């Protein structure tokens, strides 16, 4: 594989330690702790996140949602979740000021990922630069609505490509998520984000509130590995 084209990795959102074990066993690269019953960025209790991190025990990267941006104390939420031990901590950026973003990043130095909702997304060039300046380590696009409208239904491939490129230019990790389906993998992996994030698309019946489906995770892993073999020449 070309040195300048790192592999696209699979993020799987889990709600408990049992799902974390399944995601790890089936090849997920990043195990993301999130409560599917509480919307796009529902935070799990810190005790549950701690159990997930302990279950993974360093065998994969971990992340956890610290909040959906609806609260006023971003830094407090980040600091509380950081104590549970995930490698990365995700928060919705929303309309937070640059000062609030910098305060949140300082609460978990080198560990914060900013999430923007596709329905609100604009100014591709501006967002990654703002997050990088505030001290964030990465940026991710997700969808707020989880009723069948996927990321590619909201934003064009050109916009997503520009977002990934802007993250790369500012040194941020990039992620694309939002009711993704297995069929979305080829087009989105071709944009070379660092991660593609899944929940519902890997659950039984495609329902994010149901449990993870081992066969679907294996299919996603295989779909992401195929481009790697093709690039290896």
Known catalytic residues?
34, 90
Contact 139, 114 (CB under 8 A): yes
Distance in angstroms (rounded) separating the CA atoms of residues 37 and 33: 12
Task: For residue 203, give both structure tokens.
Answer: 């659950």
Is the separation of the CB atoms in 101 and 77 below 8 Å?
no
How many distinct helices (H) and strands (E) make up the chain?
9, 8
218 membership: H or E segment, kind and range: helix 214-231
Both tokens of residue 189?
A: 């992996």
HSE at residue 182, side-chain half, CA atoms within 13 A, is 14
Terminal Cα distance for the chain, rounded: 6
Cα 42 from chain centroid (whole Å):
13
d(CA 108, CA 220): 31
Report how far residue 203's alpha carbon sits from residue 224's, in angstroms, rounded to the nearest whole number. Answer: 18
């Amino acid at each position: 594989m070309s040195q300048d084209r790192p592999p696209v990795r699979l993020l799987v959102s889990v709600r408990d330690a049992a799902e974390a074990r399944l995601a790890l066993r089936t090849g997920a690269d990043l195990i993301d702790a999130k409560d599917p019953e509480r919307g796009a960025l529902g935070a799990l209790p810190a005790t549950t996140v701690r159990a997930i991190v302990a279950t993974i025990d360093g065998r994969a990267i971990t992340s956890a949602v610290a909040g959906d941006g609806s609260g006023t104390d971003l830094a407090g939420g980040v600091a509380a979740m950081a104590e549970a031990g995930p490698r990365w901590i995700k928060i919705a950026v929303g309309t937070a000021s640059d000062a609030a973003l910098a305060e949140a990043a300082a609460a978990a130095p080198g560990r914060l990922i900013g999430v923007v909702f596709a329905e609100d997304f604009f100014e591709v060039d501006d967002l990654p630069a703002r997050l990088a300046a505030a001290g964030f380590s990465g940026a991710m696009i997700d969808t707020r609505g989880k009723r069948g409208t996927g990321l590619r239904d909201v934003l064009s491939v050109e916009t997503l490509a520009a977002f990934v490129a802007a993250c790369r230019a500012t040194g941020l990790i990039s992620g694309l998520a939002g009711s993704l389906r297995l069929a979305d993998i080829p087009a989105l992996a071709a944009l070379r984000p660092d991660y593609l994030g899944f929940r519902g698309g890997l659950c039984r019946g495609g329902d994010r509130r149901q449990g993870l489906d081992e066969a679907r995770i294996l299919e996603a892993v295989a779909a992401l590995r195929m481009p790697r073999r093709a690039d290896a020449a």
